[in-house]
Amino acid sequence: MNSIQDIWNGIMAILSGKLTTTSINTWFADCVPIDLHDGTLVIHTSTPFKRDILHSRFEEEIKDALREMFSCDFDLLILAGDELEDYRREQEDKKKAELSLPEMDGYTFENFIVGKSNEYAYAAAQGVVKNPGSKVYNPLFIYGNSGLGKTHLLCAIGTAIHEANPDAKIAFVKGDDFTNQMVRSIKEGTADEFRQKYRGVDLFLVDDIQFIAGKEATQEEFFHTFNSIYEAGHQIVITSDRPPIDMLRLDDRLRTRFEGGMMADVQPPDVETRMAIIRNKAGHLGMQLSDDIVAYIAQKITANVRQIEGVINRLTAVREITGDEITRDKVDVAIGVVIRDGVYVPTPETIIAETARYFQVTADDVKGVSRQKNIVTARHITSYLIRNLTNLSLPGIGAFLNRDHATVLASIRKIENQIKTDKKLADTIRDITSNINSRQ
Ligand code: ADP
Ligand code: MG
């Protein structure tokens, strides 16, 4: 792509063939090109007076020059004097809005506790920020189990690059959203726009890529997206719950690409790191825990930072309600609520929401009466997952889904039987479970 200065030079070359040197010197000498986007050329001049003249006498010439260069029509926005500052601020806010994903908040390098388990991934992430697009770190592929800080690091990279370079075009997408967006764009006849959306970015952040494995059309599209970003020398960062070699249904050519840059794993944190994380999280929530309690939590929860956070959130709530000191007993109770068999217990609402999202239907559809095939499947799977991931009884599950316990039981049995022979269903359930586990 031409830089904005190149484009402006092109316009001036065309205009100097049509206007006198005096005109050019008088009206264009202090014009500075600012931006060309969404079909609008933005330029800046020193005074409102000059702006008026440019509009009245030269606007058509400038637009003609653009048409000559790009064979399409553009609008012209001329800023005068200190309007430039406001303009830049507005653009900045717009970019932030584009970037401001729910998860980006607080997911910064400063809030990331570094220990042996993640120092390599942390250093690689910082390497990307210092030198985006460098061959050494491109792509950066961060992998590891759920709840160990992959999304946090991915967002920290996005935030840091945005701060260093507010003009950088940054895209963040989850692997399954990439699939869904692609499918929808094909249905709606907007496949070209979908392609452009990601191919032109400076920084491409892809969270949980494992979901595209085995989905042929998505992998194909992702391959082309990857190549065009990579070949432009732009940076790609990918996270996954496993290394490429263990993504069994991944296209070989994608595997080769993923392994072609830097791979960094995140491991469960050691006890010192866990204690530091606990202190840090409690501190953020305005709660001071005794050394004994910090050590106790660190000893009890070993495999997953998200679970540590869940327990601390719970303790904050307990303290707010009872106002009491946090004791070991209270920690045990909080752990009992948040974790079952070493696994985080999601809420039924989360399970319904994630299953609905996977099938691209709404939570109300799942709870409603429609007999549409994908809604019915989503409903069966929801019953099955709530049964397997929470402590709820059949009538309890029924209450969430507006069903009686016999209907819930029938749904669960159906899935239990089908899953034995239907590999695709088993994968779907594994993917949804993994989505549920990667939410708070
Ligand atoms: P993943 O994407 O690997 O499943 P996340 O990045 O979502 O995990 O992390 C889960 C939660 O734990 C997030 O709230 C994150 O901020 C926190 N977390 C993970 N690792 C760390 C760390 N090293 N320091 C501070 N917080 C962490
Ligand atoms: Mg994640």
| Ligand 1 pocket check for 306: Cβ under 6 Å | yes
DSSP string, 71-140: SS--EEEEEETTHHHHHHHHHHHHHHHHH--GGGTT-SSTTPPP-TTTHHHHHHHHHHHHSTT-GGGSSE
Query: Tokens representing 282?
Result: 């409690």
**Measured between alpha carbons, how far is residue 347 from residues 106, 303, 434, 439, 440 in Å?**
23, 20, 14, 10, 9
pLDDT at 1: 46
Q: Where in the chain is the domain with CATH 1.10.1750.10?
A: 348-437
What confidence tier does 102 reach under pLDDT thresholds 50, 70, 90?
very low
What confidence tier does 14 reach under pLDDT thresholds 50, 70, 90?
very high
- How far is 407 from 395, CA to CA, in rounded Å? 10
Per-residue pLDDT at 254 exceeds 90: yes
Q: Which fold has domain 271-338?
A: Helicase, Ruva Protein; domain 3 (1.10.8)
Residue nearest to atom 6 of ligand 1 (CA): 149
**Pairing relationship of beta strands 140-143 and 170-174 according to DSSP bridges:** unpaired
| Ligand 1 pocket check for 151: Cβ under 6 Å | yes
Report yes or no: 125 and 140 within 8 Å, Cβ to Cβ. yes
Q: Among residues 43, 44, 52, which one has the least CA distance to residue 75? A: 43
Of 114, 148, 174, which is best to mutate to test ligand 1, by the most ligand atoms within 8 angstroms of its C-beta? 148
Q: Where in the chain is the domain with CATH 3.40.50.300?
A: 119-265
Q: Is 262 helix (H, G, I), strand (E, B) or coil?
A: strand
Please state the rounded mean pLDDT for residues 264-279.
96
E-strand stretches of 112-169:
140-143
Query: Tokens representing 299?
Result: 């000893």
Distance from the Cα of residue 42 to its chain's centroid: 30
At the top level of CATH, the class of 348-437 is: mainly alpha
- How far is 105 from 230, CA to CA, in rounded Å? 27
Q: Where in the chain is the domain with CATH 3.30.300.180?
A: 4-94
Label residue 106 left, alpha or beta by phi (over 0 means left) and psi (-120 to 50 means alpha). left
> What residues are paired with 232 via a beta bridge?
none
- How far is 50 from 55, CA to CA, in rounded Å? 9
pLDDT at 101: 52
List, for residues 16-62, the tens digit of each pLDDT value: 999 999 999 999 999 999 988 778 899 999 999 999 999 999 999 99
Q: Among residues 266, 280, 287, 300, which one has the least CA distance to residue 112? A: 280
E-strand stretches of 224-324:
235-240, 262-265
Query: Tokens representing 68?
Result: 């000559």
CATH number of the structural domain 4-94: 3.30.300.180
- Mean pLDDT value across the chain: 90
Atom of ligand 1 nearest to the CA of 115: 23
List, for residues 360-379, the tens digit of each pLDDT value: 889 999 999 999 999 999 99
Distance from residue 317's CA to the centre of ligand 2 (Å): 25
Q: Is 325 helix (H, G, I), strand (E, B) or coil?
A: coil
List, for residues 144-187, the tens digit of each pLDDT value: 988 899 999 999 999 999 889 888 999 999 888 898 888 888 88
Segment (H or E) for 187? helix 175-187
| Ligand 1 pocket check for 150: Cβ under 6 Å | yes
At the top level of CATH, the class of 119-265 is: alpha beta
Distance from residue 149's CA to the centre of ligand 2 (Å): 7
Distance from residue 306's CA to the centre of ligand 1 (Å): 6
Q: What angle do CA 96, 98, 99 make, to 5 degrees?
A: 60
Report yes or no: 367 and 402 within 8 Å, Cβ to Cβ. yes
